[in-house]
């Protein structure tokens, strides 16, 4: 205020409001640091935004749904708008979901937006995670943010599962029954866990209400906190960028938050929301009225969970039925082993950044992204993991694969059992070779230029294709990546001639490093000398 008074003018209303807020919140300081913050533009950087926006959409529609949903398992006779279920006994949860779908105007739309957004939320998180993985964006200083993101994905899965179970329909009830069976398989405490979780014997009268508070309060509350932390870290670290002219590890090139990024990101929220609403308008999701209310003695073929739980379904379907009985006890390995592998599949990808940083021993900050081909081992590992995940998804949908491709369920199950072990290995080898091929092509391009498509005849009759040399910006882009040398075990004898013990960890690390960066695992990028020799010399063509 003082400055305005000094200059003897009345500040505009907006400024006065901002002044008021600044006096209490210090917003000018915040705005100075962030208002013109630079964000790089790349479509793959927006995958996380898709996830963020679908999360917001899920919260908005979820709040609306809570106004109409009754999380109760009291049995009632249905007399609402859907004729083929009139007079059927069902839980209040199911009946109120039918009411939302048939008697509340717009209720069906909101329900479908909620569910479609949930599927897209998880899909976007997975794709976003893969973008971060394949470009190496998880490296220092972003490892913690990688873990936050991973936790969001896992919590998203369970929030999805609990939400999917709330309508108490025949399909989700079958899923809950499966969960109960899996809990029972836990050695020693399985039956206790099951009794406590369901308030007695399955299905009991409690799980909908319990899942409800987990679904609308506990998990989303944690997720909201993680999302905020995730975003704060993105702001704090500043976004990564791909190598290119003018883009270094010490700067970030792009457009300012105000106005361009704000308009683009804000606009993108509406685009995502609009598209999800349109998808919800035209395509049915989880038509619980066709599925019917849950009864523990009824079931339908094609009983699957939503896609993000599909890999666990695959695990449980292809596992052989091992069961060990001893001294009056039963070890249900057929269910318990998949229950153990389920988190391991996820942890395998989550811990990768830490493994890689241990192998490279690199403690610097990295803000320039790798092209996947330039990190062949990492890329190959990622593709192997995706193959693993996809093989399990195939296993989880084996009955639909069978009917749609006229195959035998038994044959698919056996295929998945083999591919569970063989698929990732094959994918690893193939991907690595492809990456090396692409590296060779890049080197070729740098040294000899781009194929122009123009054929020239030389005086002595030979035909050659004219190659146009790359511009300096492109040359820089293709050679900007770093190439590590394999770590070696240092001298085992120090200068005083005392022998040093080499720990097994050190040996393993050297071996891994050799695998990562040794011969055959990367193509040496062209050096300036090579380039000069080729470009200065004539008659090389």
Partner 1 sequence: MKKLSARRRHPLAAVVVLLLALAATGGLYTAFAPAGKAQADETAQSLAIEEGKKLYSVGCASCHGTGGQGSSDGPSLVGVGSAAVDFQVGTGRMPAMAPGAQVPKKKVIYSQKEIDQLAAYVASLGAGPITPTAKQYSPAGADIAKGGDLFRTNCTQCHNFTGEGGALTHGKTAPSLEGVDPKHIYEAMQTGPQNMPSFPDSTMPEQQKRDIIAYVKAVNGEESASPGGLKLGGLGPVSEGLFAWIFGLGALIAVAVWVAAHTAKAKKS
Partner 2 sequence: MSSQEEIPEENLPSEQGAAHGAVERTDDPFADPGLPAHRPRVQDIDERAAKRSERAVAFLFTLSMVATVAFIASFVAFPVDKIVFIFPFGHVSILHFSLGLTLGIALFCIGAGAVHWARTLMSDVETADDRHPIEATPEVKAKVLEDFAIGAAESGFGRRKLIRNTMFGALALVPLSGVVLLRDLGPLPEKKLRTTMWRKGKQLINMNTNEPLRPEDVVVGSLTFAMPEGLDQHSEDFQKQIAKAALMIVRIQPDEIKDKRELEWSHQGIVAYSKICTHVGCPISLYEQQTHHVLCPCHQSTFDLSDGARVIFGPAGHALPQLRIGVNAEGNLEALGDFDEPVGPAFWERG
Please tell me whether residue 264 binds partner 1 under the rule CB under 8 A. yes
Residues in 333-362 that interact with partner 2 by CB under 8 A: 333-335, 360-362
Residue 468 binding target from partner 2, partner 1, none, CB below 5 to 8 Å by type? none
Residue 331 binding target from partner 1, partner 2, none, CB below 5 to 8 Å by type? partner 2
Residues in 281-340 that interact with partner 2 by CB under 8 A: 281-282, 294-303, 316-323, 325, 328-335
Please tell me whether residue 29 binds partner 2 under the rule CB under 8 A. no
Q: Which of 163, 167, 310, 314 binds partner 1 (CB under 8 A)?
A: 310
Asked if 489 and 506 touch (Cβ cutoff 8 Å), the reply is yes
Please tell me whether residue 342 binds partner 1 under the rule CB under 8 A. no
- Distances from the Cα of 116 to the Cα of 124, 151, 306, angstroms: 12, 21, 11
Please tell me whether residue 287 binds partner 1 under the rule CB under 8 A. yes
296/306 Cα distance (integer angstroms): 20
Asked if 54 and 208 touch (Cβ cutoff 8 Å), the reply is no
Q: Which is nearer to partner 2, 44 or 248 (CB)?
A: 248
In the numeric block, the tokens 């609306």 are attached to 64
DSSP state of 368: E
Please tell me whether residue 343 binds partner 1 under the rule CB under 8 A. no
CB of 315 to partner 2, least distance (A): 10
- Distances from the Cα of 540 to the Cα of 441, 464, 475, 502, 529, angstroms: 18, 11, 20, 49, 16
Backbone angles phi, psi at 10, to 5 degrees: -95, 125
CB of 458 to partner 2, least distance (A): 26
Among residues 383, 376, 392, the alpha carbon closest in space to that of 426 is found at 383
Q: Which stretch binds partner 2 (CB under 8 A): 181-189, 350-358, 381-389, 496-504?
A: 181-189
Q: Which stretch binds partner 1 (CB under 8 A): 5-13, 57-65, 275-283, 326-334?
A: 275-283
Quick check: helix, strand or coil at residue 169? Answer: strand
Please tell me whether residue 296 binds partner 1 under the rule CB under 8 A. no
Q: Which stretch binds partner 1 (CB under 8 A): 108-116, 341-349, 482-490, 526-534?
A: 108-116
Residues in 463-492 that interact with partner 2 by CB under 8 A: 472-473, 475-476, 479-488
What is the helix (H) or strand (E) element at residue 467, kind and residue range? strand 463-468
371/375 Cα distance (integer angstroms): 7
446/101 Cα distance (integer angstroms): 60
Residues in 129-158 that interact with partner 2 by CB under 8 A: 140-141
Name, in order, each residue with C-beta under 8 angstroms of 136's C-beta and a sequence gap of 6 or more: 366, 369, 370, 375, 378
203/534 Cα distance (integer angstroms): 76
Please tell me whether residue 508 binds partner 2 under the rule CB under 8 A. no
Please tell me whether residue 28 binds partner 1 under the rule CB under 8 A. no
Q: Which stretch binds partner 1 (CB under 8 A): 8-16, 64-72, 217-225, 302-310?
A: 302-310
Q: Which of 413, 431, 439, 522 binds partner 2 (CB under 8 A)?
A: 413
Please tell me whether residue 281 binds partner 1 under the rule CB under 8 A. yes
Q: Which is nearer to partner 2, 95 or 383 (CB)?
A: 95
Residue 171 binding target from partner 1, partner 2, none, CB below 5 to 8 Å by type? partner 1
Please tell me whether residue 106 binds partner 2 under the rule CB under 8 A. yes
Name, in order, each residue with C-beta under 8 angstroms of 327's C-beta and a sequence gap of 6 or more: none
Q: Which two tokens stand for residue 276?
A: 């999800």
Please tell me whether residue 1 binds partner 2 under the rule CB under 8 A. no
Q: Which two tokens stand for residue 507?
A: 């040996």
Partners of 90 in the β-ladder: 76
541/537 Cα distance (integer angstroms): 10
Asked if 395 and 317 touch (Cβ cutoff 8 Å), the reply is yes
What is the helix (H) or strand (E) element at residue 75, kind and residue range? strand 75-77
Backbone angles phi, psi at 524, to 5 degrees: -55, 130
Quick check: helix, strand or coil at residue 384? Answer: helix
CB of 327 to partner 1, least distance (A): 35
451/253 Cα distance (integer angstroms): 30
Residues in 392-431 that interact with partner 1 by CB under 8 A: 397-400, 402-403, 406-411
CB of 20 to partner 2, least distance (A): 28
Backbone angles phi, psi at 128, to 5 degrees: -60, -45
Residue 316 binding target from partner 2, partner 1, none, CB below 5 to 8 Å by type? partner 2
Please tell me whether residue 47 binds partner 1 under the rule CB under 8 A. yes
Residues in 151-210 that interact with partner 1 by CB under 8 A: 170-171
100/65 Cα distance (integer angstroms): 8
Using CB under 8 A, count the residues that bind partner 2.
137
Q: Which of 68, 102, 158, 178 binds partner 1 (CB under 8 A)?
A: 102
* Number of Cβ within a 10 Å radius of residue 383: 21
CB of 261 to partner 2, least distance (A): 8
Q: Which of 149, 163, 292, 395 binds partner 1 (CB under 8 A)?
A: 292
Q: Which residues bind partner 1 (CB under 8 A)?
A: 41-43, 45-47, 49-50, 83-88, 101-102, 108, 112, 116, 119-120, 123-124, 127, 170-171, 264, 267-268, 271-272, 275-276, 279-287, 290-292, 295, 297-307, 310, 397-400, 402-403, 406-411
């Amino acid at each position: 205020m003082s400055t305005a008074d000094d200059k003897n003018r009345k500040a505009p209303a907006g400024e006065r409001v901002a002044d008021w807020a600044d006096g209490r919140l210090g917003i000018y300081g915040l705005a100075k640091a962030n208002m013109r913050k630079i964000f790089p533009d790349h479509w793959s950087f927006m995958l996380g935004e898709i996830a963020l926006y679908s999360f917001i959409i899920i919260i908005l529609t979820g709040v609306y749904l809570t106004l109409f949903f009754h999380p109760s398992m009291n049995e009632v006779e249905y007399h609402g708008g859907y004729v083929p279920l009139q007079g059927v006994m069902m839980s209040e949860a199911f009946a109120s979901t039918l009411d939302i779908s048939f008697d509340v105007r717009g209720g069906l739309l909101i329900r479908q937006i909620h569910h479609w957004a949930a599927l897209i939320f998880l899909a976007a998180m997975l794709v976003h995670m893969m973008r971060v993985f394949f470009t190496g964006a998880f490296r220092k200083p972003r490892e913690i943010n990688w873990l936050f993101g991973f936790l969001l994905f896992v919590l998203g899965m369970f929030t999805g599962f609990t939400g999917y179970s709330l309508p108490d329909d025949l399909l989700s009830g079958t899923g809950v029954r499966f969960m109960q069976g899996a809990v029972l398989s836990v050695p020693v405490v399985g039956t206790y866990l099951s009794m406590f979780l369901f308030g007695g014997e399955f299905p009991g009268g409690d799980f909908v209400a319990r899942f409800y508070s987990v679904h609308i309060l506990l998990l989303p509350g944690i997720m909201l906190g993680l999302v905020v932390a995730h975003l704060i870290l993105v702001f704090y670290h500043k976004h990564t960028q791909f190598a290119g002219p003018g883009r270094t590890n010490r700067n970030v090139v792009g457009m300012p938050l105000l106005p361009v990024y704000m308009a683009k990101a804000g606009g993108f929220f509406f685009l995502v929301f609009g598209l999800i609403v349109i998808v919800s308008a035209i395509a049915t999701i989880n038509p619980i009225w066709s599925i019917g209310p849950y009864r523990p003695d009824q079931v339908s073929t094609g009983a699957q969970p939503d896609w993000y739980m599909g890999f666990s379904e695959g695990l449980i379907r292809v596992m052989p039925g091992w069961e060990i009985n001893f001294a009056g006890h039963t070890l249900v390995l057929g269910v318990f082993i998949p229950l153990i592998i389920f988190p391991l599949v996820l942890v395998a990808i989550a811990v990768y950044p830490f493994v890689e940083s241990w192998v490279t021993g690199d403690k610097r900050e990295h803000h320039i992204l790798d092209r996947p081909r330039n990190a062949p081992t990492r890329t190959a590992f990622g593709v192997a993991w995706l193959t693993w995940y996809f093989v399990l998804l195939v296993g989880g949908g084996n009955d639909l694969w069978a009917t749609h491709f006229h195959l035998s369920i038994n044959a698919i199950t056996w295929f998945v059992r083999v591919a569970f072990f063989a698929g990732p290995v094959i994918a690893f080898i193939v991907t690595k070779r492809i990456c090396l091929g692409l590296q060779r092509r890049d080197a070729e391009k740098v040294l000899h230029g781009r194929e122009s498509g123009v054929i020239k005849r030389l005086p002595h009759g030979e035909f050659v294709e004219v190659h146009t040399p790359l511009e300096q910006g492109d040359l820089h882009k293709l050679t900007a990546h770093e190439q590590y040398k394999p770590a070696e075990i240092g001298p085992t004898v120090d200068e005083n001639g005392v022998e040093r013990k080499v720990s097994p960890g050190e040996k393993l690390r050297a071996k891994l490093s050799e695998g990562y960066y040794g011969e055959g695992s990367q193509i040496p990028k062209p050096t300036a000398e090579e380039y000069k020799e080729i470009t200065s010399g004539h008659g090389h063509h």
